[in-house]
Amino acid sequence: MLGSRRPRALGAAAPEDDGDLFDDDFQRKLDVLALVSRRVASGRTRAERRSKKTGSGIEFADHREYAPGDDFRTLDWNVYQRTGRLLVRLFEEEEDLSVYVLLDQSRSMGVRMATARGTPGTSKLRYGKQLAAGLAYVALAGLDRVSVLSFSSQMEERLAPTRGKNRIFRVFDFLRPLRADGQTGLRDALRTFAAQNKRRGLAILISDLYDPAGFEEGIDQLRFAKFEPFVLHLVDPAEAEPRLHGDVRLVDTETGEARDLTVTPRLLQRYRAAHAAYRKRIADYCGEKHVPYHALPIDVPFDDAILGVLRRGGLVR
Amino acid sequence: MSFTGLGTLQVLGVLGGFGAGVVVLYLLKLRRRQVLVPFVPLWEAVLAEKQSTRLFAQLKRWLSLLIALAVVAALATALGDPRPDAALRDGRTLVVLLDASASMQATDGAEPDEAPRSRLDAAKARARLMVRELGPDDRMLVAQLDARATPLGPLSGEAKVLRDAIDAVRPVDVAADLRAGLRLALDVLRDQPGPELVLLSDGRLAAGLDLGELGQDAADAEAAPTEETEEDEAPPLLASDRLAGALRDRGVRLSWERLGREGDNVALGAFAVRRYPLDKSQSEVLVELINASDAPAEVELELLGDGQSVEVQALTLEGGARLRRFFRNVAGIDARLEARLRRTDGGGDVLPADDRAYAMLPPRRRARVLVVEPGLYLQAALLLDEYLEVTEVTQASYDPADEGSHDVVIYDGWVPLRPPAIPALYLYPTSDDPERGPFVVTGSVDAPYFDRLERQHPLLRFTALRDVNVAEALTVELRDGDRVLARDERGPPLLVAGRRNGQPYAAFLFDPDASDLPLRGAWPLLLLNAVDLFAQEGAGFVSSFRTGESWALPVPPSAAQVLVAGPGGERRVPVSEGRAVVAGERAGFHTIRAAAGADAGPTLTVAANLGASPESDVAPAPSLTVGELRAEAPSAGSDDVRQEPWAWRVLFALVVLAAEWLTYHRRVTV
């Protein structure tokens, strides 16, 4: 070929620096998120959610700011006398909600596709960590029992169920050291998860769903074990629109499998169609099985993504 | 086709070497870039579909290889500098004379199926074609032929240089002088290979075929002394024969491209205007109209004074006729007069250049006349012209220093010691000393008559002198240059004009008081004609100039250069002895002013008309011969000999590379 060949930015699995993953700015966003999510939940599903908010429990759990519409009987007048602030007392309910945040940490989650400027972009794993932390904080703020787990082809790490929003730092400490490794195996990993966790509850699956064996069986494992699966499909727009051209060797980041091909505009067009079809297949399957499903592009800020998920419903009841 | 750069074997070697290199590079498997992707199975489906187009992809690779080999072949053969065999013939040396004379402005230069264009434009197009047909060893010199032959560039084979020279040819309103062109050609073509003189012209040449001067020049340049001796002894050859011999001796091929077709033309042949002596607010205009075609023509003649129409007249011109028309008592003209001719019957008029004529009227300023000892008749005659400012002095009070503030001096029956420094009119120039005055008086003759008259002289304009009775006339000794305007048939002159002390004069060699001339209308006319003539000549006034001549224009004495602006643009002209000498090339009004920095002085406007009336006969000459040498058609060139095949090959390679680069980066061919 007589044309010049400039070096092209490639997809990379290089680890990211997670030092600033949960910085102050991130935590401020969590606070806003928790506040907004409460308003969303109370505005939409008041008296339907199984939580301490009804005040029927006996064990004190936490305080929160008074919001219009709260029951005056739950106001903590002692605190009001001391501080002048109107706080509502929250009590544990006898049967509380268990929330499991399942984060895919396979190598495909760590791929950083080239951006338009040729530099490596954000990995899905980093985005998934922020998403998991955000959701966990929302659940902790709602006094739910929250457990965070990571998996690849098997269950990897686990944060024991905990509650109370001051536990969010444990969640941070759990998520920060996670590295992308291993192959995706939804079926085996989630089967193990279902076997190990007898307390049923909401299972939030955060993954790119790149499972050579198929994503269906993994989701089915949750369904069959009476969990309430909630699928958050992380989508890297750079994967859907790869900036590739010319003769390349594609290497699967999980299996190491290689394919030689010449990328042409027509080939890219077919790839985009195949990628869109794959996403549609997932959405169709989840819809068919009444499993809440959200595709989240990772170029959308994680707090906006969480609010979008909350507003569209399904996660907060 | 032959290689004039690298030899055939060398070209083949380069082709083989680089071609093999390209093939090897194509056979080598290109190392592919590795790209990590998260999920190869997504690509699998695409790759499976891709297999069906693999054959096409292979074909594209082979096509790419073939293109690369074609580029190598083009560049290798370009190194060989291939030339058509026709381009390898011996070179020619061409002198191309483009006739830029007035007749070449005729608008019949195009073929019947082409858009109208002038003969000069057709000549330029033909010259450009000749440039395209030049061989690699041919050289050409382009010259403009008008009253002179002006080379417009060097003797060159560069197409751009020659095209620039052709573009520089400008039409002028003069007749072409073939002698000048032939002189130039003989000089340029001396000792040059394949000499050829190409004349692009309609054949209407001022010199005709009387080329005696050129023949003498050629003989001077060429002939050996022994030949001169032989010529002296032999019967004289016709000049054109000698020229033909010079061309033949130098091996110069005489070529002529005949331009133009037979076309109708009406023209203004002559144009003159003058103020009436006694009423300078009105003028008399003479117009001569020419119909150069055989068919009658309906025309409209319009006179414009200072840009405003003052007279329009419809006229019929018979075929081949010359019609003279006087327009009398034309008023409303201050300075500029222009005549325009236009056909009104829809007939052709291929030469617009001769449809206009221009003239300037003398300024209506008072002439200052110094009169010494005037008689009553003289005083009465001078009172008739309100534009005269007369100063009368006696012989005793006459001071030559007064001459400087006057235009004309009149001596009535008296002569000064020395001729004056201004124009003078002598009436009966006698004194006690017979040698004093403009003439030496030798005697007298009784009862002379005006038997012989120079009627064309402006002094005698409007006069009738045949029956004037004169009692006595002086007999004088005339000097060289003196011109007798009226004389008795016995010999004694009665009216004489000439120059004394560098100034014009006129003299009545009889006493008007002793004749009945003062009783006639001719008396004041003679006086006023003389005053007008001298006053205008002193001011250097000329009603109109002719193109093709040199105009000596009076300018402020302190000016070293003047700017002459006219229809052909503005140009600087040096001044010599108070006169700017301008080569007249364009008809129309021209303004002359001192160049910046000098004493500007008043702006002078002059008029110029087409110089050679034969130019109005626009029919192209049927043939052109110089002596016995008949001009042939120009030697034919070939369209393809000028081409540079190597350049086309390089261009092909660049275009292919650019297309390949573009399609590669647009992902069309990968």
Write the secondary structure of B435-479 as one string of H (helix), E (strand) and C (coil).
CCCCCEEEEEEECCCCCEECCCCHHHCCCCCCCCCECEEEEEECC
The conformational region for residue B649 under phi > 0 = left, psi -120 to 50 = alpha, else beta, is alpha
Same domain? B246 vs B100: yes
Q: Which residue in chain A has the smallest CA separation from B41?
A: A212
Domain for residue B370, yes or no?
no
Residue A219 pLDDT > 60: yes
Interface test with A, best of B31, B32, B36 (most A CBs within 10 A): B36
Whether residue B96 is found in the same domain as residue B191: yes
Q: Is residue B394 part of a domain?
A: yes
A67-119 pLDDT per residue, tens: 887 888 888 898 899 988 888 887 755 456 789 999 999 999 998 887 777 77
Taking residues A285-297, report their average pLDDT: 92
Same domain, B582 and B532: no
* B156 shares its domain with B196: yes
A181 near B CB under 8 A: no
Q: Does the pLDDT value for residue A169 go beyond 50?
A: yes
State the pLDDT at residue A1: 38
- Same domain, residue pair B321 and B442: no
Instruction: Identify all chain A residues contacting B664, using CB atoms and an 8 Å cutoff.
Output: 1-3
Residue B356 lies in a domain: yes
Domain for residue B79, yes or no? yes
pLDDT above 90: residue A281 = yes
The shortest CB-CB distance from B42 to any of A2, A251, A271 is to A271
Residues B394 and B493 in one domain: yes
Closest of B381, B145, B95, B406 to residue B254, by C-alpha: B95
Are B135 and B255 members of one domain? yes
Whether residue B240 sits in one domain with residue B123: yes
What residues in chain B have per-residue pLDDT under 70?
A: 1, 4, 28-31, 48-58, 60, 86-90, 206-240, 277-278, 537-541, 556-557, 596-602, 612-616, 637-643, 664-670
Q: Do B466 and B523 belong together in one domain?
A: yes
Q: Note whether B64 contacts A: Cβ–Cβ < 8 A.
A: yes
Same domain, B550 and B503: no
Domain boundary residue, one of B519, B538, B557:
B538
Q: What is residue B29's predicted lDDT score, i.e. its pLDDT? A: 56
A2–B37 C-beta distance less than 8 A: no
Asked whether the beta carbons of residue A253 and residue B36 sit closer than 8 angstroms, the reply is: yes
Q: Which residues in chain A (70-129) have CB-CB distances under 8 A to chain B?
A: 108-109, 111
Which of these, A142, A86, A111, lies nearest to A253 by C-alpha position? A111
Q: List Cβ neighbours of B528 (8 Å cut-off, separation of 6 or more).
A: B277, B278, B381, B384, B385, B388
Among A1, A4, A208, select the one facing B670 at the smallest CB separation: A1
- pLDDT of B641 reads 58
Question: In this complex, do A2 and B36 lie within 8 Å of one another by their Cβ atoms?
Answer: no
Give the per-residue SS3 of B488-539. Answer: CCCCCEEEEEEEECCEEEEEECECHHHECHHHCCHHHHHHHHHHHHHHHHHC
CATH code for the domain of B423: 3.40.50.880
Pair B94, B67 in one domain: no
Contacts of B39 in chain A (CB under 8 A): 108, 208, 210, 239, 252, 254
Q: B656 is in which domain, residue-wise?
A: 2-84+650-665
* CA-based nearest distance B14→chain A, Å: 19
Q: A182 touching B, CB under 8 A?
A: no
Contact B33 A248 (CB under 8 A): yes
Judge whether B390 lies within some domain.
yes
Name all domains of chain A by residue range, CATH numbers in brackets: 96-312 (3.40.50.410)
Six token digits for residue B133: 């047909």
Task: Average the pLDDT over each of A76-85, A141-150, A254-263, B235-244 and give the range with the smallest value.
Answer: B235-244
A250 part of contact set with chain B, CB < 8 Å:
yes
pLDDT given at position B87: 62
Helix axes A186-196, A216-224, angle to 10 degrees: 10
* Distance of residue A6 Cα from the nearest chain B Cα, in angstroms: 11
B657 touches chain A (CB under 8 A): yes
Higher per-residue pLDDT: A152 or B82: A152
- Select from B344, B360, B376 the last residue of a domain: B360
Q: Does the beta carbon of B224 lie under 8 angstroms from any beta carbon of chain A?
A: no
CB pairs under 8 A between A and B: 114
How much of chain A, in percent, has pLDDT values that exceed 70? Answer: 82
- Cβ A208–B38 below 8 Å, yes or no? yes
B613 in a structural domain? no
Choice between A40 and B179, residue whose per-residue pLDDT is larger: B179
Is residue B391 in a domain? yes
Residues of A in contact with B64 (CB under 8 A): 1-2
Q: How many domains does chain B have?
A: 5
B10/chain A closest Cα distance in angstroms:
25
Q: End of a domain among B538, B564, B581?
A: B538
- Give A1's contacts in chain B (Cβ within 8 Å): 30, 64, 664, 670
| Residue B670 covered by a domain | no
Query: Which one of B30, B34, B43 has the shortest CB-CB distance to A271?
Result: B43
How far apart CA B159 and CA B90 sit, in angstroms, is 18
Backbone angles phi, psi at A66, to 5 degrees: -70, 140
Contact A271 B34 (CB under 8 A): no
In contact, B593 and B562? CB cutoff 8 Å: yes
**Same domain membership, residue B142 and residue B174:** yes
For the domain that residue B333 is a member of, what is the CATH number? 2.60.40.10
B25 touches chain A (CB under 8 A): no
Cα separation, B483 vs B586, whole angstroms? 34
